[in-house]
Amino acid sequence: MSSSWIILDANFLCWRSFHSLGGLSYNGQPTAVAFGFFRDIIHFVDKYDPSGLIFAFDGKESKREEIDSTYKQERREKRLDPKEAETYRIISLQIQDLRKKFLPKVGFKNVFFQEGYEADDVVASVCEGLDDQDEAMIVSSDKDLYQCLKHNVTIWNCKERITLQGFYSRYKITPDQWKYVKAIAGCITDGVRGIRGVGEKSAILYLRGELSDSSLYRKRIENGEEEWKRSLELVRLPYKGTKVFTPQRDKLNPEGWDEVCEELGFKYLKGACPSFAKKTLF
């Protein structure tokens, strides 16, 4: 029997929940992250009627730093004032409780995490092992995940649905070539060094063979080939050593759902434990 999965970039949704509901609490316990996350679960199940949900969480450390110490260096070394540091701590604890306590209590089996690896790696691992007859929709705003697009894998970035056909129409390259775009153009937020002065658009034109021999951008890319090829390992998904994550069918526990809602004061969500379809509907 074919299955339709929704793969959630859990950390992305957690931070989105916090930014929209940051001050929410119950009996002195911060609950914004969990409330927004559980509300999202209901929304995606009601709208898409999937066979099940897959939750991909970030590891705390990064194996990528072992081959490039500058990877996400700016994030690691950013000095937080006391208020920012406390906010980060509160959010991190809520995310940890979701992964370790609340989702398992409800009966979700596909709560995937690997220390040293990112949610992107987990998502890519799931997509690599997906049966051709199954379908999956990734929920994330991270463009790195374009590498995962296939005939049966789409991405919802909370603004639009991106399909394999739509990606090709927009960029005229294959999803497998997206890692080259990231390596050549670099990524400021991840600390991936690209070729100076070359952006995403020029990298795409280069891969399409549409930069002339006299193009300054082409010369920069070709002269810097050794440098950007070193960055490929940083941007390729999944990163080497990522486990094989294989989803299972969930058997959810409505009582567990209601117990979590009771503990966190989610009266609005109590009694709303989702159930899953047994057919592909995407």
**Do the beta carbons of residue 94 and residue 207 sit within 8 Å?**
no
Helix (H) or strand (E) holding 219: helix 216-223
The whole-number pLDDT of residue 281 equals 47
* Torsion over CA: 210, 214, 220, 225 (sign): positive
pTM > 0.85 = yes
**pLDDT tens digit sequence for 188-231:** 888 888 999 999 999 999 999 999 999 999 999 999 999 999 99
The whole-number pLDDT of residue 282 equals 46
Phi, psi of 137 (to 5 degrees): -120, 120
Taking 70 as the threshold, does the pLDDT of residue 74 lie above it? no
Phi, psi of 171 (to 5 degrees): -110, -20
The whole-number pLDDT of residue 278 equals 56
The whole-number pLDDT of residue 1 equals 66
Measure the CA–CA gap between 64 and 47, rounded to whole angstroms: 36
Helix (H) or strand (E) holding 39: helix 32-48
Asked whether the bond before 274 is cis by omega within 30 degrees of 0, the reply is no
- Identify the residue with better confidence: 66 or 78: 66
At 113 the three-state DSSP class reads: coil
**pLDDT tens digit sequence for 139-196:** 999 999 999 999 999 999 999 999 999 999 999 999 999 999 999 999 888 888 899 9
Helix (H) or strand (E) holding 223: helix 216-223
Q: Indicate the average pLDDT of the chain.
A: 92
At 7 the three-state DSSP class reads: strand
Measure the CA–CA gap between 166 and 108, rounded to whole angstroms: 32
- Identify the residue with better confidence: 279 or 148: 148
Phi, psi of 54 (to 5 degrees): -125, 130
**Placement of tokens 């070709």 in the chain:** 222
Measure the CA–CA gap between 80 and 91, rounded to whole angstroms: 14
What residues contact 56, with CB distance under 8 A and at least 6 apart?
7, 8, 9, 10, 112, 113, 119, 120, 122, 123, 126
Strand-pairing partners, residue 25, are 30
